[in-house]
Amino acid sequence: NISMSPATTFIHYGQSLFEGIKAYKRENGEIAIFRPQDNWERFNVSARRMAMAEVPKELFMEGMRRLIELDKAWVPGSVGSSLYIRPFMFATDEFIGVKPADNFRFMIITSPAGAYYNKPTRIYVQKQFVRAFPGGIGFTKAAGNYGACMLPTLETRKLGYDQILWTDGFTHKNVQEIGTMNVFFVLGNKVITPDLSEGTILAGVTRDSVITLLKEKGISVEERALSIDEIEDSYKKGELKEAFGAGTA
């Protein structure tokens, strides 16, 4: 447990961020962590946007490696299961005024995990609430991004849907992400996912892996703006074949 002053600044002003990584047990019993260096880089992308200290690679990678070494008996071996690794950092200045903090705490915790989504989900196209806006923090794993999505997610569940398909804040036409996952649509023989140019999409490591694997298989992938109208037209023409979310969880 953490003992801290009630004036600790992250509680009030939200300088807090995290990462999510998985370690898997290989058939030979070895433990493999999936692309953790990408998460270290993204952690510092988030840190810069939130005016927080960047974490040195050695501390992030070696700290994680040693924790997994300690926790290795907790890495489950069954198909689809893994050890979820959660690095996080928050501002620890004890100060009531609004200013960027000078002190931060970086920690890593782990938790055994099963498959998160193991059935088809019902999706609601959200046109009232917005997750991310150009110029905002949608591309970061800042804590506040998730806090802001709790109410929309609750409301969506009340309507009988599992998850939200987020749309852009200007037109509510272009799709962004699905819940806390990157989204892909298979239209005809192309796989389409929103591009990262506006800073409203979290640059998923899984997203990148999916794109790389598809391209290696010779399947055409387009990273571009994709509207609900285009998806609807494709559906009517019988070209919408599949839609899926991609993320570590």
Ligand X SMILES: *Cc1c(COP(=O)(O)O)cnc(C)c1O
Angle at which helix 36-49 crosses helix 57-71, to 10 degrees, equals 130
Binding track, positions 19-58, relative to ligand X; x by CB under 6 A: -x--------------------------------------
**Least CB distance from residue 110 to ligand X, whole Å?**
15
Does residue 141 bind ligand X (CB under 6 A)?
Answer: yes
Q: Considering the complex, state which of residue 87 and residue 247 has its C-beta at the smaller distance from ligand X.
A: 247
Residue 176 one-letter amino acid = Q
Q: Is 87 in the site for ligand X (CB under 6 A)?
A: no
In terms of CB distance, is 92 or 123 closer to ligand X? 123
Q: Would you count residue 193 as binding ligand X (CB under 6 A)?
A: no
- When binding is defined by CB under 6 A, the residue of 16, 82, 200, 248 that contacts ligand X is 248
Nearest to 201 by CA among 170, 173, 224: 224
Q: Which two tokens stand for residue 31?
A: 């433990």
Q: Least distance to ligand X from the beta carbon of 204, Å?
A: 3
Positions 4 through 23 that interact with ligand X (CB under 6 A)? 20
Q: Nearest 5°: phi and psi at 216?
A: -65, -30
CA dist 56 and 246 (Å) reads: 28
Q: Which residues contact 93 (CB under 8 A, 6 or more apart)?
A: 8, 9, 101, 102, 103
Question: Under rule CB under 6 A, which residues in 161-190 are in contact with ligand X?
Answer: 177, 180-182
Nearest CB to ligand X, comparing residues 99 and 215: 215
Q: Are the C-beta atoms of 71 and 83 separated by less than 8 Å?
A: yes
CA atoms of 88 and 82, how far apart (whole Å): 19
Q: Should residue 207 be labelled a site residue for ligand X when binding is judged by CB under 6 A?
A: yes
Binding of ligand X at residue 205 (CB under 6 A)? yes
3-class secondary-structure state, position 211:
helix
Which tokens in the block code for residue 3?
């003992």
For residues 84 and 93, which CB has a smaller minimum distance to ligand X in the complex?
84
User: Which residues form the interface with ligand X (CB under 6 A)?
Assistant: 20, 141, 177, 180-182, 202, 204-207, 247-248
